[in-house]
Amino acid sequence: MKMKRKTIAIDLSEEFDKINSVNMFINNDYIFESHDTSNIDQFKKSKKKIFLLSNILCNHAAIYVNLLNDVWYHANNLYIEKENNTNKMIPYLNREIFSRLKIGVIGYGTIGKSPGDIMTNELYISTRQPETLDELKAQGVICMFDNVLITKKCDIIFICVLPDQFKFVRYDLYGNIKQNQIIYSFCSSHDLGFITKSLNTTNVIKACGEDLVSSIESFETKLFFYKTLQELWQDKSFINYSCPILKSNVSICYDKILESWIYSALNMCTLHGISKDNTCSILNNVFNRNNDIEKFDDSFFVSNKQGFNLQNNLKSVFQHFNLHLVQIKKSPLSVKLNNNSNILQNIEKIYFQIFDDYNDLSIKQGEMKQI
């Protein structure tokens, strides 16, 4: 039986009691940087851009969590296969009962929302004012002010604090981050190298959105014709624009953000001790499904010419890749993605399907409310 992607995510302003899910909330600090607040009109215009940018970056984070949960699912299937001494992959597993990824968010201020494959008991939020999150707590989200606890509990940690607060987060996280944890930073004021060095980990992904700020005017006016974010998500042109990997977009980071997603998924498999051939199989199932033209193999990720060590034994595991270098240097995957539009088109379809599924769910819920 083919695994069906589970779609969750609803606006917290709506009361869908039967669905144990929440939106992903991400704070970003773009609004607090490089904007002259003495010019009120200009500042208001900047706020419009930042509001849209915030939600675009949240969309990117949400699809990343969806994809990583699928990688986690397939990796767990391999363990079950090994334990049962079977020769075939178990084709289906109830995703409600196996241990899924735990998501941590450090910071909670100017927020964005996006559909995300997250159950409430998988989401941890650390903020200086946890008492303001009673609504989230009531839905099962773990809210507190304890950044160290986030490092103990979570697999993916989103850092969403203001520039002047990063030093405190750095103090809490330094030395506590485990090798298998992924840091996803929304701190636009700090470059990737600084964050990597400050936290003493190379497993860092930096949200990419600076190039979108100056080209988002086409949606500023349109936004205010919508009453809710849900209506905005139903706008195909906005969803197309927010997709991080469309070459037609003005953002120049589409390839590097996708590379960091795929290499981080590969690192997850490596830390599970999964062989190269099985890792490539998992990545094909998640990132490259329905593409019979070219499948992932080890040549996509390693090359002696480019400093990414090549080992020919497919039964061995991949090396652990430095995500900092992946995002600033040309990797073997860079070349492959630039020469293979089928992989990019497949990721685009997954991205759009998340919103289609969400909108279908919203319509069904609306119909139920009217009955």
Per-residue pLDDT of the chain in tens (371 residues, 90 and over written 9): 333 333 333 232 222 222 223 334 333 333 333 334 455 455 455 566 666 777 777 778 888 888 898 898 888 877 666 555 555 544 444 444 446 789 999 986 544 455 566 677 788 989 888 887 887 788 788 888 999 999 999 999 999 888 888 899 999 999 999 988 999 998 877 888 999 999 999 999 988 765 555 455 555 555 555 556 667 777 777 777 777 766 544 444 556 888 899 999 999 999 888 889 999 999 998 888 766 767 888 889 987 554 454 444 556 889 899 999 998 888 888 888 877 777 777 778 878 887 777 766 555 454 433 32
Q: Is residue 16 in some structural domain?
A: no
Provide the CATH number for the domain around residue 331. 3.40.50.720
Residue ranges making up the domain that contains 212 = 24-370
The amino acid at residue 29 is D
Inside any domain, residue 192: yes
Q: Any idea what the Cα angle at residue 81 is, between residues 79 and 85, rounded to 5°?
A: 120
Find out whether 130 and 136 touch, Cβ atoms under 8 Å: no
Whether residue 15 lies inside any domain: the answer is no
The answer to the question of residue 61 being in a domain is: yes
Instruction: Tell me if 76 is assigned to some domain.
Output: yes
Whether the Cβ atoms of residue 163 and residue 33 lie closer than 8 Å to each other: yes
303, 328 Cβ separation under 8 angstroms: no
The secondary structure of 46-82 as a DSSP string is HHHHHHHHHHHHHHHHHHHHHHHHHHHHHHHHHHHHH
Contact 351, 63 (CB under 8 A): yes
Question: 111 phi and psi, to 5 degrees?
Answer: -110, 155
Specify the number of domains making up the chain: 1
Domain-located, residue 3 = no
**H helix runs in the chain, sequence order:** 40-83, 134-138, 147-153, 166-173, 192-199, 210-213, 220-223, 229-233, 236-242, 254-271, 276-287, 323-328, 332-338, 341-370
Kindly report the pTM of this predicted structure. 0.78
How does DSSP assign 186-254, residue by residue? --TTS-HHHHHHHHT-S-EEE---HHHHTT-GGGHHHHTT-SSHHHHHT-HHHHHHH-TT-TTSS-S-H
Instruction: Let me know if residue 83 belongs to a domain.
Output: yes
Q: Is residue 18 part of a domain?
A: no
Residue owning tokens 């190039």? 211
